[in-house]
Amino acid sequence: MKNKTMYALLISLFLLSGCDMIDYHPYDVRIKGETDVNAHNIERIEANCKGKTTLRFAVMGDSQRFYDETEDFVKTINKRNDIDFVINGGDVSDFGVTNEFLWQRDIMSKLNVPYVVIIGNHDCIGTGEETYKAVFGNTNFAFIAGDVKFICLNTNAMEYDYSEPIPNFSFMESQFEEHKGEFTKTVISMHVSPVSDVFNRNVSRVFHHYVTQYPGLQFCTVAHDHNVTVRDLFEDGIIYYGSTCMKDRCYLLFTIKPEGYDYEVVYY
């Protein structure tokens, strides 16, 4: 009996000491490391860009399972000294698995400049939205860099089956007035464009009408299509610029100046 008791004690000690060895379910939202990434980086963006009249920022997206290419993107950006921040247009995960978000966060955190991540349709799979919110923050958010307001939106309506208002027009309306007077220009960023099958195309023109109400609208950015695109979707002069996936080793570079903006496709 004594031997059995000792054996049971040893097993118990082994199990207790080996808790870190347990591999949880891939959709178990257990977050290690930094959370609220977007909020922390928005603080840096707004502080670093305060008073600037010229901004330069990179837009990329669909990093998904392209980890090596994303690491090389980070190294490429870090070699430059003329970029203020990076916008990741979404789909940092492929299957909504928790570790996918963490791996991409850890790669992007090596950037010398702050970055924000927009939610993509793949990021909504399984418990992906919950993980996205824990790691990066709200699925709709905005910030001001210099005199430009950046409005970042969740447009992945198909993934919600109309269970939530996506796009969220109430949020978009709130941004008309929030910090009014602190910005004269606007950029709208999202994962899927208003003509995508993932978007709620019943309201695509209504969405675009909202977009055009922002002061000094410069352009919109999208991802999702895995191609570089430049499209005047509604034939009114408002350009939707699309970034390709990281597999193509490519990002978009924008420079907003007092008299307009420049656009460049950069391969690395």
9: its two tokens: 């004690």
CATH number for domain 2-267, candidates 3.60.21.10, 3.20.20.140, 3.30.70.260, 1.10.10.10:
3.60.21.10
Q: What is the pLDDT of residues 225-248, one digit of tens each?
A: 999 999 999 999 999 999 999 999
pLDDT at 29: 83
* DSSP symbol at 160: G
pLDDT at 19: 45
Q: What is the pLDDT of residues 165-217, one digit of tens each?
A: 999 999 999 999 999 999 999 999 999 999 999 999 999 999 999 999 999 99
90: its two tokens: 């979404």
Whether 13 shows a pLDDT value over 60: the answer reads: no
Q: Residue 172: which H helix or E strand, with range?
A: helix 169-177
Query: Taking the C-alpha atoms of 34, 124, 242 and 253 in order, what is their torsion angle to the nearest 10 degrees?
Result: 0
How far is the C-alpha of 84 from the C-alpha of 58, rounded, in Å? 8
Mean pLDDT of 5-13: 44
pLDDT at 147: 97
3-state secondary structure of 134: helix
Closest Cα to residue 35, out of 132, 119, 130, 136?
Answer: 136
Contacts of 110 (CB under 8 A, 6+ apart): 71, 74, 78
How far is the C-alpha of 116 from the C-alpha of 136, rounded, in Å? 8
